């Protein structure tokens, strides 16, 4: 299991989409479609939107192997991901640093990819997506990035430049994971 984390605006979704586009014909790699309590048309990642009530029903029914809350939303990783991993495949999911302990509990073989970008890039990307006020953007940028526990297997990818550069780094990591199976 590969979980991609990093601050808002770092380009996690863009990077995941880049890799998914390049590996779309490889059945050994599964790009996870998260369940999120926001409208499916909200933009950003290709997710399954649902209401809070539906999310809680799914959670109680055991339909998620990992779930967490952040920024007023609930996020879930479908339990079906485990079936793909059991067959020897690799799964890639957009996650959250705060949810890493939950990912570790669900997936004994876990690789963490931290996507970063320079502060001015983060600010510009957050403003361009138009989901938050400038005050909310400044609040996000003021947040301290928690150090990720040394006990995780972490690779950091700087996504401040062209997507091909960071995308190539993620593709190389995925190829390494596929080769190591």
Other Cβ atoms closer than 10 A to 148: 14
**HSE on the CB side for 158, CA within 13 Å?**
5
Strand order in the sheet with 2-5: 29-31, 90-94, 2-5, 111-116, 153-158
Chain centroid to CA 171: how far? 15
Q: How far apart are CA 11 and CA 162, in angstroms?
A: 11
Residues of the chain with pLDDT under 50: none
The whole-number pLDDT of residue 134 equals 73
The whole-number pLDDT of residue 24 equals 94
The whole-number pLDDT of residue 162 equals 94
Q: How far apart are CA 43 and CA 37, in angstroms?
A: 13
User: Is 2-32+82-174 a domain of CATH 3.40.190.10?
Assistant: no
Yes or no: say if 133 and 93 are a contact pair by the CB < 8 Å rule.
Answer: no
The whole-number pLDDT of residue 123 equals 81
153-158 and 111-116: which strand pairing?
parallel
**Dihedral sign of CA atoms 53, 85, 170, 6 in order:** positive
Provide the annotated binding site for ATP. 6-13
Which class for 170: exposed (0-12), middle (13-18), buried (19 or more C-beta within 10 A)? buried
Q: How far apart are CA 174 and CA 29, in angstroms?
A: 8
Yes or no: say if 68 and 99 are a contact pair by the CB < 8 Å rule.
Answer: yes
Indicate whether this model's pTM tops 0.75. yes
Provide the annotated binding site. 6-13
The whole-number pLDDT of residue 42 equals 64
Strand order in the sheet with 35-36: 48-49, 35-36, 73-78, 64-70
């Amino acid at each position: 299991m590969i979980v991609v984390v990093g601050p808002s605006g770092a380009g996690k979704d863009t990077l995941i989409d880049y890799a998914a586009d390049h590996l779309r014909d490889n059945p050994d790699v599964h790009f996870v479609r998260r369940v999120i309590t926001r409208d499916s048309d909200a933009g950003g990642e290709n997710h399954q939107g649902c209401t809070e009530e539906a999310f809680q029903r799914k959670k109680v029914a055991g339909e998620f192997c990992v779930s967490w809350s952040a920024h007023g939303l609930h996020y879930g990783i479908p339990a079906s991901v485990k079936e793909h991993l059991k067959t020897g495949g690799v799964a890639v999911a957009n996650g959250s640093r705060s949810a890493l302990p939950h990912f570790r509990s669900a997936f004994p073989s876990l690789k963490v990819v931290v996507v970063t970008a320079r502060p001015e890039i983060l600010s510009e990307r957050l403003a361009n997506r138009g989901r938050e006020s400038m005050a909310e953007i400044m609040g996000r940028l003021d947040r301290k990035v928690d150090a990720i526990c040394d006990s995780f297997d972490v690779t950091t990818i700087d996504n401040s430049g062209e997507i091909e550069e960071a995308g190539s780094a993620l593709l190389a990591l995925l190829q390494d994971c596929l080769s190591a199976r």
